Structure 1
């Protein structure tokens, strides 16, 4: 490959399988030393916590082909001639995240790049969600990102260099059946933008990205649709092209963002798809407003002006945004 990340040390959370695995392999091929991570040895076929799906033999074989853990990813990097060590532990635990940073420093002398990719999820209506199910999504994704950032930032600031890449999802717009996951990913976007502003001038950049590719989660979703009576033809036709391709082709962009060459890029939210798209998300903006006379609203005025002016010609159904 190249020496783009030569001498850099990267931690990639949730890198036992899926997009995280491909990010770790890609950065290693560009010269980075890698700490791979997932919660514990081994992996499950089930992408959704506290959920059990009855897979067909074909589905099971396909999912098994993309599963792995921190050790298997580290082993692959070593076979490719790179340097890597595995770390098993839950990034959602503050002290564990600190030990992950220590592992990078103890083995490689520094930490330059954090890829907050780890995520746990539960699928279902908010009517059925309890505190534990909420915490499953929010702790691993949002608190986990903060934990790694908190422990890594002092060293990054001292060395005058750092790259933080936070994985979000287009679920940050609000996705039916994934309320906690959507909230966690919206939090990632805000955290990344705010941290980028706090860290300007330090040599540390913070960016977020929304990836779309064929992963274990998509295979689980497809199996769920099948169990609901949706035909395989309909599932295939309804899936975006990016969901039919594995992620290795899109992850070089993250290696680029982690390099010296991307020093001026910070506070951005990018869209990455496995069929070749790289996009930049816009920031939200007020698209219509109304003003009260003398700054005071009455209920009678609101009854007239909200539907008649504020929401006129807007598709109210868009208040519930469903994305794939």
Structure 2
């Protein structure tokens, strides 16, 4: 099976460098028309310049591809709406959105300013929401869309000094879960990539040998797969250094405690049973979990 994007239009945010640049180049190489979005700010989100996006556009055009640059700040919904309008004016449709833009403002939670917490959420979470909201109706009308969120191990598993980043990144998994349900009937598939890559966000925390092993181009094939015609939906795909793994939230089987014994002490006594991961399973949607708990309560009442 050959995965191509001929006739498709892709918006990639934060595409002036690192992962986003590789994604944009790869989409163009496989036939997509690409909107290279980059605000051009520093790693902390300050500043702004269109030079990085324009440089990637020139790379794509030099290789025979089609691309335009856009300098919207994804944290500003009005700018995002203008980007989408520019895309539709230029290409007439939007098939793919890769929410890749991000910033870092790392500090321990005790030392972190509220402004730094909010700034990171504004770019990662609200920025992804803004871009997705702006393309959503177009994709619904087309009956076609492929959207990729970008999460992180910091959100899935925790990383010291990244409370703002981790909170934003885990929130994107929740956004994916709901949009998968709301978009599926319109053939909009929503997935999440969890990249491990050498970028300006990791260059100061990993040794040179590790950085050399996890170049961004070794993540990009996973993004292209998640945006393909036959892509799955509601998948969290971890990717780094050419290795790939699927991640999901699982829950152990409900352990019911009857009213006569219901107390914090009973939970403590039975916690090993409650947290028996051998019973764990994943749910397709929230109603399945709620239903399982109601079923356990009703069964106890009958018994």
TM bucket (normalised to shorter chain) is: 0.7 to 0.9
* Per-residue deviation, 1:31: 0.4
TM-score, scaled relative to structure 1? 0.77
Residues 77-96 of structure 1: pairs in structure 2 closer than 5 A: 77-96=60-79
* Structure ranking higher on relative contact order (CA contacts 8 Å, 6+ apart): 1
Q: Do the aligned residues in 1 keep the contact of 2:15 with 2:37 (CA within 8 Å)?
A: yes
Q: Do the aligned residues in 2 keep the contact of 1:141 with 1:184 (CA within 8 Å)?
A: yes
Residues 35-114 of structure 1: pairs in structure 2 closer than 5 A: 35-40=35-40, 44=42, 47-48=43-44, 69-114=52-97
User: What is the Cα-based RMSD across aligned positions, in Å?
Assistant: 2.4
Q: Are positions 1:248 and 2:217 aligned together?
A: yes
Pair 1:201–1:242, CA change in 2 (3 A): farther
* Per-residue deviation, 1:258: 1.6
Q: Are positions 1:272 and 2:242 aligned together?
A: no
Q: Do the aligned residues in 1 keep the contact of 2:255 with 2:274 (CA within 8 Å)?
A: no
Listed one character per residue, the Cα deviations across residues 146-168 of structure 1 (whole Å, up to 9, x for unaligned) are 11111101111111111001111
| SS of the residue 2:245 aligns to | strand
Q: Distance in 1 between matches of 2:205 and 2:213?
A: 13
Question: 1:136 corresponds to which residue?
Answer: 119
Q: Distance in 2 between matches of 1:296 and 1:126?
A: 39
> Any unmatched runs of 5+ in structure 2?
276-303
Q: Do the aligned residues in 1 keep the contact of 2:100 with 2:150 (CA within 8 Å)?
A: yes
* Per-residue deviation, 1:282: 2.5
> Any unmatched runs of 5+ in structure 1?
51-67, 223-234, 315-324
TM-score, scaled relative to structure 2? 0.82
Q: In structure 2, which of residues 245, 248, 273 is the aligned counterpart of residue 282 of structure 1? A: 248
* Per-residue deviation, 1:256: 2.5
* Per-residue deviation, 1:253: 2.5
Listed one character per residue, the Cα deviations across residues 168-197 of structure 1 (whole Å, up to 9, x for unaligned) are 111112221100100001001110111001
Q: Distance in 2 between matches of 1:272 and 1:199?
A: 25
Q: Distance in 2 between matches of 1:14 and 1:146?
A: 15
Q: In structure 1, which of residues 198, 203, 206 is the aligned counterpart of residue 182 of structure 2? A: 198
